[in-house]
């Protein structure tokens, strides 16, 4: 299945309605190897290429602070190694859904800065949960999210217009209840995309978050359908995908084939405790099993490619 062009943002492909062989690019998010969020992504780029990945995900909120020279060097490295680069962002200090107008304005402007950096690096996708503040919660006693969704959608329209000016697709990650209060299911994501009404807006589903919130993973993938524009892989405990976990990977990949998903399938596991990143995702035990990290993810990559081919 060929990868879709940037001219068809947020759309899956021609395979909708029947099973289709998956031939997607497989990527890795940099956090598997990094201890800190603001890090030298070049190390992770080299690791991903050496292990046979097709793509590398990096932090948009990291590259926005890079000099142009550093952006150029990292982009050229990925290109030279044959890796497609995509970008993920979240808002920790701003909130485009906030009741505070200044926080909303600063959030929108910050995401625009990230989009400028992504465009400079010739990226065509910005994914993440910047529809609200990461780890945001509703006020006590509130049961109607509508005002927060409407404020967020207004800001997202402005973000999507800025992204469209750069030829960039926006892909919003659906998170579990412990990380956001706004979009916890694929159905809520589809409703939100409808509120925004932007052609370059799609959804990012993540098997870890879906395992917590959705009735079934294939059902959630079917609900997202043609809006699915990025996809994260991780076991129910955030380990690398494998044959011994809770998640039925055959069912996941068959569902992706049915909706004709043509985007990147990206590993986002977290297995090492005691780091800034491990603490931030609340990882309080070692999941490496004493195995070399590169060997662990190499075996997982072979498993994923095998199951994707079977789908």
In the chain, the N- to C-terminal Cα span, in Å, equals 12
Q: Which residues contact 199 (CB under 8 A, 6 or more apart)?
A: 9, 10, 164
The partner residues of 172 in beta bridges, in order of sequence, read: 128, 203
Whether 173 is catalytic is: yes
Q: Is 65 an active-site residue?
A: no
Which one is catalytic: 214, 235, 266, 268? 268
> Are the C-beta atoms of residues 13 and 253 closer than 8 Å to each other?
no
Q: Which of 109, 158, 173, 188 is catalytic?
A: 173
* Residues assigned a catalytic role: 173, 268
């Amino acid at each position: 299945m060929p990868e879709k062009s940037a001219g068809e943002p947020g759309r899956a492909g021609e395979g909708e309605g029947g099973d289709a062989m998956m031939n997607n690019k497989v990527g890795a998010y940099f956090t598997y190897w990094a201890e800190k969020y603001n890090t030298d992504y070049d190390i992770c780029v080299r690791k991903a290429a050496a292990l046979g990945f097709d793509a590398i995900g990096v932090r948009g909120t990291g590259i926005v602070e890079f000099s142009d020279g550093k952006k150029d060097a990292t982009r050229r490295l990925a290109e030279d190694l044959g890796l497609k680069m995509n970008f993920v962002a979240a808002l920790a200090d701003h909130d485009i859904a906030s009741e505070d107008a200044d926080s909303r304005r600063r959030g929108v402007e910050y995401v625009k800065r990230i989009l400028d950096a992504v465009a400079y690096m010739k990226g065509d996708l910005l994914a993440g949960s910047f529809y609200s503040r990461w780890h945001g919660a509703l006020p006590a006693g509130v049961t109607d999210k509508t005002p927060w969704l409407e404020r967020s959608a207004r800001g997202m329209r402005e973000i999507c217009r800025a992204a469209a000016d750069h030829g960039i697709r926006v892909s919003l990650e659906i998170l579990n209840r412990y990380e956001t209060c706004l979009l916890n299911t694929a159905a809520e994501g589809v409703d939100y995309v409808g509120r925004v009404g932007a052609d370059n807006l799609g959804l990012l589903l993540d098997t870890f978050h879906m395992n917590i919130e959705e009735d079934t993973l294939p059902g959630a993938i079917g609900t997202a359908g043609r809006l699915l524009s990025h996809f994260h892989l991780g076991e129910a405990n955030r380990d690398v995908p494998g044959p011994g976990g809770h998640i039925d990977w055959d069912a996941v990949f068959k569902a992706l084939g049915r909706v004709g998903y043509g985007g990147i399938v990206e590993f986002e596991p977290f297995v090492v405790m005691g780091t800034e990143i491990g603490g931030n995702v609340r990882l309080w035990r070692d999941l490496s099993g004493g195995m070399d990290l590169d060997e662990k993810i190499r075996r997982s990559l072979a498993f994923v490619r095998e199951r994707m081919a079977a789908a």
